[in-house]
Structure 1
Amino acid sequence: MPSTYDPENLFPCLSEDGAASARQAKNLAELAAIHAQRIARNHGERAQTALAAASPALQKIADLAREGKLDKAADEYMRDATQRYWLTLDVLRQRGDNDIAHEAAGTPPVLIYDHEVAMDGKTLPHPCNYVLLKIVPPKGVETHDWKRPYMIIDPRAGHGAGIGGFKSDSQVGVALHDGHPVYFCVFRPQPEPDQTLADVMRAEAEFLREIRRRHPDAPKPVVVGNCQGGWATLILAAANPDISGPLVINGAPVAAWSGRMGENPMRYNGGLLGGALPALLMSDLGAGVFDGAHLVSNFEGLNPGRNYFGKYYDLFAAPEKTRSSFLEFERWWGGFHFMNEAEITWIVRNIFVGNKLSRGEAHLERGRRIDLKAIRSPIIVFASKGDNITPPQQALNWIADTFTDEHEIRVRGHRIIYMVHEKVGHLGIFVSSSIAKKEHAEVTSTLKTIEALAPGLYEMTIDEQIGEGVDAHFRVSFTQRTMSELAGIDDSRGDEAQFGAVSRLSDLACEFYDIFARPFVQTSVSKASAEAARKMHPGRASRRMFSNENPLMDFAREEARRAEKARAPADPANPLLALEKIWANGMVQTLDFWRDMRDAAYEMTFFSIYGAPAMLRFGASHAWARTTVDAKDLAHLPEVEAVLLGIDRGGFAVAVIRMLILIAQARHQVRRDRLERSANVLSHDEPFASLGAEKRAALIREQSIIVEFAPEKAVETLPLLLTDPAERQRAIDVVDSIAGAVEEMEPHTLAMLRRIRSVLGLPRLGALTSGDPLESAQSAAQ
């Protein structure tokens, strides 16, 4: 016992609470400074821009007044604005009518491609509302059954399906134009009775099996998951690791607690709005069905300036020009869909509030835990810094939550590639034509060769454009990354501990509600009252009020017809048009300012409540961080030890694969052109081609483990794998042809090639082989 009074030793919890209080005060001070500086900088710059734009317009108005022409300009502007008003109102009328017709037709997918039903989830033993469509290639586009098929899973986040094939320059379009058969997972508005996410997963697995039955000569299908379809894809692959090929995960919120302080306010909703309780309550008020319109309202609230004013002003500013695109997008945006209570509750509890999927604690059904480590397929993750719904931290931090470090990724044979865009927004990830033409096109090209990549964690970068127009292509490289480098996308993950209390409070609130309040709520709701509430939802009412169901719109339609016949746009140089645009920008900025102040208040309130010492203790059981393991400890895993025992056994195929991995490890980066050459040799030339994809993948994994844990012996034992001098020369010729021109090599690559030649007793490095030596030899033999 200490000889002097030491409060820290007597009451350690007081010391911990004091440190937590100090961190809380520090975080709040930093947050206040971050938000104040960002608001002052952004809105200050926008105000200055507005003032600078206003000065020429005001000066021109003054000039017109002196010249006696202002009344003419005003008349011209008023005529133009009035005509645009009636035309805009008519577009809103048409949007409302389109919504009614869309719902009457069963809210079909908004795909622009013709399609046919390949399989209906309603007919499966566990029925669900998912349907597999086969996309019919447009005229002039040919697909091949032997090429790897694609299956695209769209998000079921309030809207209907089809956004991934919304435009010709889209994920679907890119795959079709490259000759791949494309399938699309869509869903009906209403779920089947008692449908669960486990039923959906089983249906998607059966869809993949059906695709493989239709394309027996093709490699396993690529699965593309957009937004919530992304984590659904991970669950599908973890529960069924043998049925899919590479996975492409676009903007998927998997690690929902993650984000930067001062940004990403959506992650605080669970803590400030009651956790999973609102989802339970809304489902009960909906007679057991959760209305997707609630989710869409949440998305709209993230950017009120755009969603509540900006997009309507853009329509008003040029109704003739924007009518078609506005109605096209709004057809999808207003096609609200539904979920069963069990589905939305699982999503909220296991992802958005509980963060259990990322940490390996989620159970899809009783006794069935979802372990993302079980996935065997290569994974490409696409995120963007401009995504305010799924920031890069939420899209990527599940990797660090699942694996101890990059060494475990390699030991387990995983290939995880991530790409971070600088500015595209959430929907732009799967809607933008520019993304389809560049990023998605390069991902599609990469998927042809990804299985030749050695296991590991990589960042994919598009380094430079080569060529112009339709002939343009890009130089793509894959740089090996560590977990510490991946952590650089986040400021710190220390703030995630505060979400533990949110998760625990949510569980307690749901239990209390389930026991004491739920029976009364459920007995007070009927299907008729639930349907009436759905119709009165602002997302629907604000659209239908402009439809032909409103008799006042008959007058608006007639006025729009008159305006269209008498249309006389104002002179673009009219200064009143410039002032109108300045006013509109000011309205958007006002809403943006309110949003920024709201978000600041959101975050400050969250950290004030959940950063308190008592809350941190309360949530400690629900918040944890993965313990890192030293790479040396992984060397003692039984599977690693078994592989290392065979380090001196093998032959030509093993030796070539090992040498390629040694070179890749030496340079820590792989250019796609080299990867393509490697994939061509491994998939088309003997003795590799006859091994089959699974055996080749196993060899690549085994040799990666050897290079990882015994790099020196990996080189020194090469002569034991290649005992015949002619075989050694043939093997090094293959490696040289893949490595490429000497002048393009990095010093580490050259050093490794020279060392391999020396160990094998081969001549010094000279001019490298051009072309594929194995292919040449096979041609000569024939």
Structure 2
Amino acid sequence: MSELSGVPAFADESSNYAVDACQRGILFLDVMRQRAEEYQERATLSAPHVLDYDAELVADGRTFEQPVNYVLVRIIPSKGVTIDPLKRPFVVVDPRAGHGPGIGGFKADSEIGVAMKAGHVCYFIGFLPEPMPGQTIESVARAEAIFLETIIARHPEADGKPCVIGNCQAGWAVMMLASLRPELFGPIIIAGSPLSYWAGVKGQYPMRYSGGLLGGSWLTALVGDLGAGIFDGAWLVQNFESQNPANTLWTKQYNLYSKVDTEAERYLGFERWWGGHVTLNAEEMQFIVDELFIGNKLAAGEIRTSDGTAVDLRTIRSPIVVFCSKGDNITPPQQALDWILDLYDSADEIRSLGQTIVYVVHEKIGHLGIFVSGGVARKEHDEFASNIDLIDVLPPGLYEAILEPKGDAVEHPELVTGDWVMRCERRTLDDIRALGGNDVEDEKQFAAAARLSEINLALYRAFAQPAIKAVVNPSWAEAMRQFHPLRLSYELFGQSNPFLAWVPSAAELVRENRHPAQADNMFSTIQEQVSGQIVDGLEAWRKMTERMAEETFRAVYGSPALQAALGVDPSSSRPPRKAPKSMLTSAVIDARIDALTGRITHGGLAEGLVRSLLFVGMARGGADERGFEALRRVRRDHAEASLLTLSQFKALVREQHEILLIDEAEAVASIPAMLPKDVNERLAAFEVLRGVLEASGVLNEVAAERLQRVTALFDIEKASAGGEPMVVPTRSTPRTRSAS
């Protein structure tokens, strides 16, 4: 009898699982039906989006002299959100990469949400599903410039130019515009945006090999011609999905099926954006593939506008914040950061050009999570929004943003605006190289692929394109778009399928009589195990195909004979491309040095105080938000300090930092002449100086020694009422609070 004791339990579990599995199957079909209906409904809208906010139209690019399908809207603040009119506007530019607009404001915890929570008015630059006739990447850039001019004109009282956020594909577009119109920009945040398209690590990130393995961009031209001059963005979405077959073919759907009682709303919300396929003009897509993806011309300064102006990212004057992740297989850290290696020879060159670059590398978040994840928005984007003025006044150089939990151990927690403390630490180009990247041989292989792409495209245009254009008409092209596999995956579950007419009523009946299986049901456990095996199998297949793709690419384009035939010198030890240097740039720098040299001894209390702060702070190798917040409060509470606008203060900081770099000894020696003669004024200024420095924590030994030198320059010991020497706290000295 003991052998049969388990039979009833087995029968119960199998029966319960069978009912649960059947009910989940019906509910799954109903969710897919809703997905299809929403897809069909959104296809009828003139301006579909997934913004979680109300918005008002400010400017419509379709009415411009060069019409484009882009629009500028102002985000209406949610209830309880207070906007400070003196704070700079934030502008979120959405990526046009095949999906519909709105991902930057997809959730309440989003880039838009955290910007408004920090008190900034927020604008959104989005797009409509279909491009305007004749629209190009350059005309889109000109329209976005008009949008920024409009925003600046609407906020003349704002203390700074707009902070512009470019997500994914919008990032390179923002950077191109900022190089052409630098006067329109405040800080720039580029999130998950590729700027150096060949870069990567061997054995990882195989998407960069796709162009070479397909023979170049002739296939892009073919797809555009088959679309009668229109490129279907669904092909871009499918390309993204091919990077993770386990998720595309199984995990996404299985996760819905296995958790259908709780997962439906989240699944449908994401699909509203993911399935909002848009189109581009064929000329736009050809530019993107030729100039960026395969040609990799942006970081090399080889892109020119229609009037011959070179797009040189070194002309950007605004601070640039680069946000990337090691878990992003679409835009890995190398593609997000290696443009810095292409443009600059050292961090000193970055400083000499007056450029400020801050980067942060997340350890594991995926590509979409960079600008969709609520966790990321509550951390990284929240800190960027709260501390954007700190970033704007950082002295020129290369920094890494370090975010640490505020916790109880942090000194002066009252100066921290959020749950994290942001510290910007100085870095060198070697820190970026340490993330991994291409060597000279890798660069030559990609250069050969780019040359072959140009040849194949020319052959296609000469021999095949005329015949295809003669055959394809707009009606035929539209029919082809409707039969795209991704669109069919939606239509299959829509109202046009008569075999699923029973699903809504059956799903309603299931919801009224839902009987989920117990969590410890043995068949549910087996189901999870089978799912895991399927995922493992698809992952193994992905890794195998990626390895084959990389090995094939390297075998083909690494051939010295092919490289020589394509005009790439296989014996050269120099990279096949590098952003050119300009003698004019050197002349401008020399002229700037001469001008600043003459100003070393000039200035008053503001210049002397800032120079002293920088002299001591430079020993720390970075800046902390607490120190800036302390300085902000000084500026807010003192009438004389508040007369200096943020832009004026930024210019003052940069000038004094450059003076210290030119001749530190003379710059420091000149400080006493800048200080007021009145003893009380000098003491008050020194208290401000010390309070700001100590706000970021205990000084290290070098910084403490520098503060002692500054103390002597301020003649504090003689000015003190008691005449007692001042003790500067260090890591080995117990910290004492000043009387103030």
- TM-score, with structure 2 as normaliser: 0.91
2:482 aligned partner: 535
Where 2:46 maps in the other structure, the secondary structure is coil
Q: Deviations over 1:657-688 (max 9, x none)?
A: 21122122111122110122234446775655
Q: 1:549 and 1:141 mapped to 2: Cα distance?
A: 44
1:209 to 120, 125, 149: 149
1:637 aligned partner: 590
Taking the TM superposition and a 5 Å limit, the aligned residue runs for 1:166-565 are 166-218=106-158, 219-466=160-407, 473-494=419-440, 495-565=442-512
Q: Which range moves more in the overlay, 270-279 or 638-647? A: 638-647
2:733 aligned partner: none
Q: Which range moves more in the overlay, 563-572 or 542-551? A: 563-572
> C-alpha root-mean-square deviation of aligned residues, in Å?
2.6
1:623 to 576, 583, 586: 576
Where 2:406 maps in the other structure, the secondary structure is strand
Query: Larger % of helix: which?
Result: 1
2:32 aligned partner: 92
Q: 2:156 and 2:332 mapped to 1: Cα distance?
A: 38
Aligned-residue offset at 1:531 = 0.6
Q: 2:338 and 2:130 mapped to 1: Cα distance?
A: 33
- CA shift in 2, pair 1:444/1:471, >3 Å: closer
Aligned-residue offset at 1:645 = 3.1
Unaligned regions of 5+ residues in structure 2, if any? 570-574, 718-724, 730-735
Task: Check whether the contact 1:452–1:675 (CA below 8 A) recurs between aligned residues.
Answer: no
Q: 1:414 and 1:683 mapped to 2: Cα distance?
A: 27
Q: Deviations over 1:103-123 (max 9, x none)?
A: 011351111111111111111
Aligned-residue offset at 1:154 = 0.8
Letter matched to residue 160 of structure 1: G
Where 1:462 maps in the other structure, the secondary structure is strand
Aligned-residue offset at 1:743 = 6.8
Letter matched to residue 294 of structure 2: V
Unaligned regions of 5+ residues in structure 1, if any? 1-61, 774-782
2:547 aligned partner: 600
Q: 1:454 and 1:328 mapped to 2: Cα distance?
A: 42
2:662 aligned partner: 709
Q: 2:695 and 2:490 mapped to 1: Cα distance?
A: 62
1:34 aligned partner: none
Letter matched to residue 477 of structure 1: R
% identical aligned pairs: 39
Q: Deviations over 1:519-540 (max 9, x none)?
A: 1111111101101110111010
Aligned-residue offset at 1:99 = 0.6
2:65 aligned partner: 125
Letter matched to residue 756 of structure 1: V
Q: 2:135 and 2:28 mapped to 1: Cα distance?
A: 41
Task: Check whether the contact 1:501–1:616 (CA below 8 A) recurs between aligned residues.
Answer: yes
- CA shift in 2, pair 1:324/1:356, >3 Å: same
Aligned-residue offset at 1:280 = 1.1
Q: 1:758 and 1:620 mapped to 2: Cα distance?
A: 61
Where 2:305 maps in the other structure, the secondary structure is strand
Task: Check whether the contact 1:385–1:392 (CA below 8 A) recurs between aligned residues.
Answer: yes
Q: 1:664 and 1:518 mapped to 2: Cα distance?
A: 62
Q: 2:645 and 2:655 mapped to 1: Cα distance?
A: 16
- CA shift in 2, pair 1:531/1:115, >3 Å: same
Q: 2:602 and 2:522 mapped to 1: Cα distance?
A: 81
1:776 aligned partner: none
Task: Check whether the contact 1:172–1:182 (CA below 8 A) recurs between aligned residues.
Answer: yes
Task: Check whether the contact 1:222–1:245 (CA below 8 A) recurs between aligned residues.
Answer: yes
- CA shift in 2, pair 1:115/1:63, >3 Å: farther
Letter matched to residue 267 of structure 1: R
Q: 2:432 and 2:167 mapped to 1: Cα distance?
A: 22
Q: Deviations over 1:99-151 (max 9, x none)?
A: 11010113511111111111111111111000111111122223233322111
Task: Check whether the contact 1:95–1:327 (CA below 8 A) recurs between aligned residues.
Answer: yes
Task: Check whether the contact 1:449–1:679 (CA below 8 A) recurs between aligned residues.
Answer: no
Aligned-residue offset at 1:577 = 0.5
Q: 1:174 and 1:746 mapped to 2: Cα distance?
A: 34
Q: Does 1:752 align with 2:706?
A: yes
Task: Check whether the contact 1:107–1:160 (CA below 8 A) recurs between aligned residues.
Answer: no
Where 2:242 maps in the other structure, the secondary structure is helix
Q: 1:696 and 1:287 mapped to 2: Cα distance?
A: 54
Q: Deviations over 1:477-520 (max 9, x none)?
A: 11001112222112444322321111111112222222222111
Task: Check whether the contact 2:95–2:169 (CA below 8 A) recurs between aligned residues.
Answer: yes
Paired residues, what number? 708
Where 2:268 maps in the other structure, the secondary structure is helix
Letter matched to residue 740 of structure 1: E
- CA shift in 2, pair 1:171/1:104, >3 Å: same
Q: 1:445 and 1:64 mapped to 2: Cα distance?
A: 67
Task: Check whether the contact 1:256–1:352 (CA below 8 A) recurs between aligned residues.
Answer: yes
Task: Check whether the contact 1:466–1:475 (CA below 8 A) recurs between aligned residues.
Answer: no
Q: 1:83 and 1:364 mapped to 2: Cα distance?
A: 59
2:94 to 147, 154, 159: 154
- CA shift in 2, pair 1:687/1:339, >3 Å: same
Aligned-residue offset at 1:98 = 1.0
Q: Deviations over 1:619-647 (max 9, x none)?
A: 53893246999xxx999723223322322
2:11 aligned partner: 71
Aligned-residue offset at 1:755 = 1.6
Letter matched to residue 732 of structure 1: F
Q: List structure 1 runs of 4+ shifted beyond 6 angstroms.
A: 62-65, 633-636, 767-773
- CA shift in 2, pair 1:765/1:502, >3 Å: farther
- CA shift in 2, pair 1:368/1:685, >3 Å: farther
Q: Which range moves more in the overlay, 637-646 or 312-321? A: 637-646
Q: 2:589 and 2:109 mapped to 1: Cα distance?
A: 49
- CA shift in 2, pair 1:88/1:107, >3 Å: farther
Task: Check whether the contact 1:635–1:709 (CA below 8 A) recurs between aligned residues.
Answer: no
Aligned-residue offset at 1:451 = 2.5
Q: Which range moves more in the overlay, 720-729 or 71-80? A: 720-729
Q: Deviations over 1:325-364 (max 9, x none)?
A: 1111111101001111121111111211111111211123
Task: Check whether the contact 1:500–1:619 (CA below 8 A) recurs between aligned residues.
Answer: no
- CA shift in 2, pair 1:355/1:679, >3 Å: farther
Q: Does 1:733 align with 2:687?
A: yes
- CA shift in 2, pair 1:482/1:168, >3 Å: same
- TM-score, with structure 1 as normaliser: 0.86
2:531 to 580, 584, 596: 584
Where 2:360 maps in the other structure, the secondary structure is strand
- CA shift in 2, pair 1:414/1:743, >3 Å: closer
Q: Deviations over 1:194-219 (max 9, x none)?
A: 00111111111111111122222113
Task: Check whether the contact 2:686–2:714 (CA below 8 A) recurs between aligned residues.
Answer: no
2:722 aligned partner: none
- CA shift in 2, pair 1:451/1:168, >3 Å: same
- CA shift in 2, pair 1:767/1:259, >3 Å: closer
Letter matched to residue 708 of structure 1: L
Task: Check whether the contact 1:416–1:458 (CA below 8 A) recurs between aligned residues.
Answer: yes
1:609 to 553, 556, 568: 556
Q: 1:626 and 1:131 mapped to 2: Cα distance?
A: 34
Q: Which range moves more in the overlay, 318-327 or 709-718? A: 709-718
